[in-house]
């Protein structure tokens, strides 16, 4: 039994500089019987930070609320192509949150394509985006 008394798994991830430490911590977690998910990186090759994130849950509300607690995150719930486009154009969203229970097969891919290929318009929207940060 883990001394951590955890009921949920731990997420662990790193960049190339943190790889050795991550591997040490994974060994520790395994030894303690703690369940975890390794989100990489998986070697010491240089990596950049992610440009966008993709989060999914039944309604997308839980993942969006959780993600938006973090500085610099602008997670937007999108269940249609127009919403994915507007999230990028008007809000400079960097994480798309997809409600898996409410999106038809193939629509998530279409939204993701639009989200990744739409630029932030800036202009009149920039002032609003600047007010989002705490």
Q: Could you list the active site residues?
A: 57, 90
Distance CA 2, CA 122 (A): 49
Return d(Cα 3, Cα 18) in angstroms, integer.
Answer: 25
Is the separation of the CB atoms in 134 and 102 below 8 Å? no
Q: Across the chain, how many H-helices and E-strands are there? A: 5, 5
Q: Residues near 68 by Cβ (< 8 Å), separated by ≥ 6?
A: 74, 75
């Amino acid at each position: 039994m883990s001394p951590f008394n955890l009921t949920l798994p731990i997420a662990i991830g790193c960049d190339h500089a943190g790889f050795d430490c991550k591997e040490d911590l994974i060994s520790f977690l395994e030894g303690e019987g703690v369940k975890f998910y390794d989100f990489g990186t998986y070697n010491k090759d240089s990596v950049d930070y992610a440009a966008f994130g993709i989060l999914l849950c039944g309604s997308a509300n839980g993942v969006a609320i959780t993600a938006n607690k973090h500085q610099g995150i602008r997670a937007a719930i999108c269940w249609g192509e127009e919403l994915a486009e507007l999230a990028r154009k008007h809000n400079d969203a960097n994480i798309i949150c997809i409600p898996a229970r409410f999106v038809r097969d193939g629509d998530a891919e279409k939204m993701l394509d639009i989200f990744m290929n739409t630029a932030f318009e800036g202009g009149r929207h920039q002032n609003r985006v600047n007010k989002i940060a705490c």
